[in-house]
Every structure is written in structure tokens, then in C-alpha cells.
Amino acid sequence: MSEVNKVVLAYSGGLDTSVILKWLQDTYQAEVVTFTADLGQGDELEPARAKAKAAGVKEIYIDDLREEFVRDFVFPMFRANTVYEGEYLLGTSIARPLISKRLIEIAKETNADAIAHGATGKGNDQVRFELGAYALNPDIQIIAPWREWDLLSREKLMAYAEKHGIPVEMKHKQGGSPYSMDANLLHISYEGRHLEDPAAEAEESMWLWTVSPEAAPNEAEYLDIEYKQGDIVALNGKAMKAHEILAELNRVGGKHGIGRLDLVENRYVGMKARGCYETPGGTIMLKAHRAIESITLDREVAHLKDELMPRYASLIYNGYWWSPERVALQTMIDHTQVHVNGWARVKLYKGSVSVVSRDSKTDSLFDPDIATFEEDDGAYDHQDAAGFIKLNALRMRIAAKFRTPKK
């Protein structure tokens, strides 16, 4: 690896990246450029600028990426109804390719030799950041401090920060090391502390975005969600930008206790890990999107999407957003969404999302004349079913004839 004179650090201003900033300066004697992404995490971002400036950083990037994040990453993922291992809506995973993209762009703009991230050596994020970076710049140098230093616990990090006078805000400390948290417009995640015991129930005070279903309003709320080519364009008749839509869905979903998840998942690096997630807006989006697809997608196209979705989900979870196979799958998925236009109405009540109606004036494949249980005036000939059933049963009838034991 060649000498590093300048490095771009993915910087939040929290414990890990504050320590990494100082460590990079001391270990590599390199100039550090900080990059902080505004992905709608809700934190005040100016303290990150102040901390970086206090640490001697001259080039500080704080970028509002909320619209790009939802429009170009979250929405395309939801066109596929993407769920990892049956439950996880990939809130952390889908943010990583955008951060990698911006890291590479800033490295080019500032003539940096390397990029650095704060992902641990046990987690998925190191894989996601680095696969994305190499896909966009195969010659980039990557520094992963967690794979180089001996500060392998929160306690050691806090001791290092205290020794070097690094101010660190302890979020949600409650008498111990803080939760490891990640937030963006799609979700907020929690790991660490007592969550490392899969048998321990999460504290109610941990959840930040959602009320408990028990404490949610006693009145249900209805929401009309309008779609154009598979993406949400309006809520209750009001046109909104992509990031505004997701923020509003988070607000109303959180109010009704929607989107909590407690999951033990299989990490790409091989271990099982427990995480808790709040994804109120995404939970609503998934339900509503499947509803509008139910009347606008051809049966076999819908089933093909469902068959491919787990592979697509794994690609995102494992860090292959920029891979040729994900791009190819996305092309197919986007093609299926051309006629996914219309609206779905959902009912929100005490932690649940129920679809109550859906319609498409231009692209519905639902034919009431054929589907009716009343007289259909010959729209469907019941006699056709006899031959259809016999032909489909032919292989099973042949097998039964030759494999049935003779008396």
C-alpha cells in the first residue's frame, strides 16, 4: 500500500468516528477530510462540523442527501418488495452504497489517497462500504481502523477519547456503554448492551421513533397512498418529494406504533447477531406497494418478482448494490413497474397496517365481469375448467397409474 497523505473519513461526530479522526492523524500523519451525510437521521449536524474543526480538519463536507437517498436507493428497493430473511427492511444496508459513492466522489474532488470508515471488523458494514468503494474506484485505498487498532470495545474507545480530550456525547447511556445506533430516513437500529442476550426483552425506553402499540391512539387512521410507476408520489392527495413522503410516513406510522422489529439475523461475515429496528414508514410502504401491485401486475410477473426478491435482498444486505447482477435485476424490476399506477388505502391501528382498498383507473387487471360470483353473461365459460384440470392432472394420473401397487 502506498503512502497516505490525505484520507476522506465517513464522519458522524459520535464516539467511534471522533476517535478514528484523531487516530488517523496520529497513526498515518495524514490530513483528514471529513464527510457527514444527512440521510434524515434527525440529529443536529452542525456539532459534527464544530468537532471536526476543533480537531484541525480544514475540508469538512456535510451533504444533504435525503432526496437522493429515498429517490435513488429506497424507492428502487421497495419496487422489489425487498425483505431480508422474511422481516428486515434493510434500513442500514441501503444507505451504505450512497455513502460509498459520496466518499469516492469527495476523494476525487480533494485528491485524497484513501477513504476510511468506522465499521467494526465483526459487522456487515465494512463489507458494504468497501465493496461499494472498489466497484466505483478499483484503485482506492481503504483504511478500516477497527481491523488495525487494539481499541476493540466501547470502554476502550471512551478511555481513548478521555485521554486525548475528545468530547463525546453519550446517547442513551443509562449507566453503561451506549447502544450502537444507526439512523436514517428509512429506519433506526439498536445493537449492543443487553440486546446481545437474545433472551432479554428490549427496554421500552430504547425505542425513539414509535410509541408502543398499547399506547397508540384508540382511533384508527386511514391513509391514501398514490403510486406512479411503482413509486409513491402523493399522500392523501398531496404531491410530495420522495424524502418528504418517507418522513411523513414515519411520523404517522410512529404515532400508531407501527414498524418495530426485534430480530436475530445472519450476518454476511458468518455470525448471528441480534438487532432491534424501527421502520414505521417502510412498513407502510411495503404493505401498500404489494396492494397496488395486486391489481396491476400479471400473475406470472408478480410470482417471478417474489422468487427473485430474496436474491435481490441478499445482494443489498451483503453490499452488492453496485454489482452487475443487482443492476440487471433492477432493470427487470423497474420494467415490471411501468403499469404500477393507482392508489392504495391503508388503515393504521395499534401497531398494524391493513390494506382496505386499492384501485387503478388506467392499469387495473381486475375484471369484475369475470371475477363476480353472480351471473357473468358468459364472460367466463365454466366448462373450460374441465379440460384445464385434466391436462394439468395428466402427469399425476400417469404416475398414479404406473406406481400404484397391483393387487
Active site residues: 16, 96, 125, 180
* Residues with Cβ within 8 Å of residue 314, at least 6 apart in sequence: 84
Query: Smallest Cα–Cα separation from 186: which of 116, 261, 133, 127?
Result: 261
- Which residues 6+ apart lie within 8 Å of 402 measured at CB? none
Q: How far apart are CA 54 and CA 45, in angstroms?
A: 15
Per DSSP, 43 falls in state: S
Find the angle CA(89)-CA(94)-CA(99) to the nearest 5 degrees.
155
Written as nine digits, the cell of 290 is 404489494
Q: How far apart are CA 393 and CA 158, in angstroms?
A: 68
What is the CA angle 305-78-265, rounded to 5?
Answer: 90
Going by DSSP bridges, is the β-strand pair 188-191/342-349 parallel, antiparallel, or unpaired? Answer: unpaired
* Gap between the Cα atoms of 324 and 340, Å rounded: 25
Strands 180-183 and 260-266: unpaired
